[in-house]
Structure 1
Amino acid sequence: MKKIAVIGSGGSGKSTFAKALSKKLKIEVYHLDALLWKPGWEPTSKAEQRHIQQQLTPKEQWIIDGNYNGTLDVRLQAADTVVFLDMPRHLCLIRVFKRRWQFRNKQRPDMALECKEKITTDFLKWVWHYPKAKRPNILQKLDALSTEKNIVILNSPRKAQAFLNELS
């Protein structure tokens, strides 16, 4: 495992997991939320998102956490390992609200400058609908890659922790 993509719904624990994985493996982690947002929640274009990721993926080692389904193929093709945090919807929503409370009026360490933590109705809807709207497509992509990549699907915090504990 040298090039690892960590994906999953909002609130699934991608950034926390990626940081722990980085610590275990001594591989630098790149948080797409920090790289693909401009100050004040200004989004980057799809072309810019793709360019940024195409600059990262040739590196010898990396952990990249984030969804950004429009550019997911860049990471999936370059990764040797894909970790899908397939957490239950209710847990993701609880974590979203917990994170909002924890970082109220502050910026998360894994977020772009001047992007204070917030919750929007659109984001909550996206998390709520993720299992039916996004998950099937993700599983289909991962299944297609399963013969050439190490695919890890973790569907509970306990399994995510056990995976981390097993790493040397």
Structure 2
Amino acid sequence: MHKIAICGCGGSGKSTVARQLGARLGLPVTHLDAVFYDEQWEPRSQDEFASAQRRLVEADCWVIDGNYATTLPIRLAAADVVIFLDIHPVVCLVGVLWRRWQHRGSDEVSRHLRGRLNWDFVRYILGYRKHMRPQVRALLDEHAAGEVVILTSRLAVQRYLGHLAPT
């Protein structure tokens, strides 16, 4: 396991899982929000964003977390393992609220993340399983070249991580 793509609803724990896998397996971690936004937290163009991801997946090893369904095929085709965090929307919403409280605007990234919580984002989270999950599952079926691991609870995530041997 050298190239790992992690996807799932906002608040599902993608970044936490990415950090844990990176530390446990000795792999570099990239959070796609940091790639999607420039230094002023303005979104990059779709072409720039896709090009950046193509460069990232050329590396010998990596963990990349993020959704961005329009560019998900780039990561799916290159990953030897894809982890889809299919966590219940209420748990994801609690995760978003926990992240806001935990970071409380202590740095630039936290201030950006704090600004993303609005009614549209809450509706996105609560409707993820109905609207986005079918799209993600179709992309997984069509583009995933490696193993696909679907984890449906925080406990399942911890069990999965617990079975991985450190490098």
Distance 1:142 1:122 in 2: 25
More helix by share: 2
C-alpha deviation, 1:137, in angstroms: 1.5
Structure 1 regions of 5+ residues with no counterpart?
Answer: none
Normalising by the residue count of structure 2, what TM-score does the alignment of the two structures yield?
0.91
Asked if structure 1 preserves the Cα contact closer than 8 Å seen for 2:100 and 2:113, the reply is: no
Aligned residue among 135, 138, 144 for 2:136: 138
Alignment of 1:37-52 (within 5 A): 37-52=37-52
Q: 1:154 aligns with which of 147, 151, 156?
A: 151
Aligned partners of 1:85, 1:79: CA distance in 2, in Å?
16
Q: Where does residue 34 of structure 1 map in the other structure?
A: 34
Percent of matched pairs sharing the same residue: 41
> After alignment, is 133-142 or 74-83 more displaced?
133-142
Counterpart of 1:101 in structure 2 is 101
Contact 2:88 2:153 (C-alpha < 8 Å) held by counterparts:
yes
Question: What is the TM-score of this pair, normalised by structure 1?
Answer: 0.90
Q: Secondary structure at the match of 1:133?
A: helix
Distance 1:61 1:116 in 2: 27
Q: Do structure 1's residue 166 and structure 2's residue 163 form an aligned pair?
A: yes
Q: CA deviation at 1:104?
A: 2.0
What amino acid is aligned across from residue 154 of structure 2 in structure 1?
A: P
Contact kept in structure 1, 2:3 and 2:60, CA below 8 Å: yes
Q: Deviations over 1:75-111 (max 9, x none)?
A: 0111111000110000000111111122222337xx4
With over 3 angstroms needed to count, the CA separation of the structure-2 counterparts of 1:166 and 1:42, relative to structure 1, is same
Of 155-164 and 133-142, deviating more is 133-142
Is the counterpart of residue 121 in structure 1 residue 119 in structure 2?
Answer: yes
- 5+ residue gaps, structure 2: none
Give the Cα separation in 2 of the matches to 1:68 and 1:140.
Answer: 14
Deviation of the 1:66 alpha carbon = 0.3
Counterparts of 1:133 and 1:116, CA distance in 2: 23
Deviation at 1:145, TM superposition (A): 4.9
Does the 8 Å contact 1:40/1:115 carry over to 2? no
The count of corresponding residues between Structure 1 and Structure 2 is 164
AA of the residue aligned to 1:115? H
2:68 counterpart of 1:68: yes
